[in-house]
Structure 1
């Protein structure tokens, strides 16, 4: 075994840092900031260079044209619930006259009831309640098509008639 020891490493020489005065430090920071600002300006130029047209916020930000109405508490009886759903269908899908369904998908009063009725009995009871409400609103009018095509003028009026019929059907337990 060798008893000689390895020479100790030479102490690391450190060169003292030059002491900079305030003016020199400020100049160094200014130079570093100038480089950073030039890089940021270059990045901005590159990012905005390929924009072919100005950004139209209408293409980016969209909101509903109308706020949705809060959900109604559904009626517990089949005919009343059918009439309530038919009114909602007309409110959202549109109402039409002269035909059961127009090319855009809008429905007449009876068409909306047929589309929403879960059973034939619910449909029959809903139509009977609607006829009674029509007779109350329009004396001398005895049929749904006559009221739909000649007495009602707006979707809101059609929805209101169905809502009144739903209230009547619920009161009757239909």
Structure 2
């Protein structure tokens, strides 16, 4: 009589608990997400991007109208602060003193807010140029050149620098 060998019947694996199933699903999803992240990096490596300077973002209050801040106590700082507020509310332009919509360049905003006080205007323009040179070195010979170098942009950088110049003048108590 032929000899047959019987193999033992496999016993079923014990059922996984809920925590064990969740841990297994978490491990599987983590592996899939890691694989997708690598695929994304590989697929987008050829796309050039420029980093965003968060300081360039102009933030506005959630109120319907933009209210001017409390004025600086010193004349040059207050002038630069008013000019900054004028650009935020009235618009910025480059390549000319004022555009057809009433937007002003940096110099136009300072001159308008100086109200014919040439001494105050010149002091404000000096502080503005100092603020520009602190960030950009000697690349620009004047605030007007800096303003016009940003033609074609949305004006965030020039407007931000005008606000920084107001703070600089306040720190210098002028």
Normalized against structure 2, the TM-score is what?
Answer: 0.58
**What whole-Å deviation, never above 9, does each CA across 1:44-78 have from its counterpart, x for those lacking one?**
xxxxxxxxxxxxxxxxxxxxx97334441100111
Q: Which residue of 2 aligns with 1:156?
A: 156
Normalized against structure 1, the TM-score is what?
Answer: 0.58
List 4+ stretches of structure 1 deviating above 6 A. Answer: none
User: Does residue 133 in structure 1 map to residue 131 in structure 2?
Assistant: yes
Aligned length: 110
**What whole-Å deviation, never above 9, does each CA across 1:2-23 have from its counterpart, x for those lacking one?**
xxxxxxxxxxxxxxxxxxxxxx
User: Any gaps of 5 or more consecutive residues in structure 2?
Assistant: 1-61
2:76 to 74, 79, 88: 79
Task: Give the structure with higher Rg (CA).
Answer: 1
1:99 to 83, 96, 99: 96
Q: Which residue of 2 aligns with 1:46?
A: none
Change (3 A) 1:66 1:99: farther
Matched ranges for 1:53-72 at <5 A: 67-72=64-69
Report the aligned-residue RMSD.
1.9
